[in-house]
Amino acid sequence: MELSSCADALAAAGTALHPGLRMAVAPAPSSIGACRVLFLCTGNSARSPIAEALLQQRVPAIEVASAGSHPKPLHPNTVRVLRGYGIDLTGRKPQHVDALANQPFDFVITLCDRIREICPEFPGGQQVHWSIPDPAASGGSDRDTYPEFEATAAELDTRIGYLLGMLAGPRQSQSLQEAK
């Protein structure tokens, strides 16, 4: 079952049980204050740069970075699929996770099981894990693997939509407490 279908089913179940259990609407990007988010995967050539670019496009006010444990050059399909979202990654260089060591992040999101196992500690960061398959893993031609890149970008875009609630959550709670 697709993530958005699960969310719809959960929302319907909550509403059916009691109107007070209706799921909240996702916050507007403008309601999300300054924070830092780091996406990690093994190669920093597909999943993490896609996630970084999609979140940065949705909420330009936050600082987003990505890195990998074994960086590889940006995959051509990463560039192609993001063009469909109106994002240009031409000239983007992958970076090693060590380049960001000891920097504080509000959220550190690991996108593959391998990086999760070796993920260093980041000060103050809440660690979240999304196990997303590597779209380039099949080893086929760029043409053959492009549909996997499209599916990966769509999955990440959906998950980022739900992440927005987490990014706004503590700030919204703090604002509500300050208003009392």
| 3-class DSSP string for 58-83 | HCCCCEEEEEECCCCCCCHHHHHHHH
75 in any annotated domain: yes
**Any idea what DSSP says for residue 119?**
P
At residue 141, the pLDDT reads 86
At residue 6, the pLDDT reads 60
At residue 180, the pLDDT reads 32
139 in any annotated domain: yes
Of these residues, 46, 112, 132, 163, which one is catalytic?
Answer: 112
156 in any annotated domain: yes
Known catalytic residue at 6: no
11 in any annotated domain: no
179 in any annotated domain: no
Query: What does the pLDDT profile of the chain (180 residues) look like in tens digits?
Result: 565 566 566 656 655 655 444 555 455 555 566 789 999 999 999 999 999 999 999 999 899 999 999 999 999 999 999 999 999 998 889 999 999 988 999 999 999 988 888 888 888 778 999 999 999 887 888 899 999 999 999 999 999 998 998 887 654 334 323 333
CATH number of the structural domain spanning residue 144:
3.40.50.2300
21 in any annotated domain: no
180 in any annotated domain: no
Domains held by the chain: number: 1
170 in any annotated domain: no
pTM of this structure: 0.79
Structural domain that includes position 135: 32-165
Known catalytic residue at 119: yes
Known catalytic residue at 35: no
Dihedral sign from CA coordinates of 48, 52, 58, 63: positive
Of these residues, 54, 64, 119, 168, which one is catalytic?
Answer: 119
Of these residues, 41, 53, 82, 163, which one is catalytic?
Answer: 41
At residue 168, the pLDDT reads 79
Residues 6+ apart with CB under 8 A from 108: 37, 38, 40, 119, 122, 125, 126, 127, 128
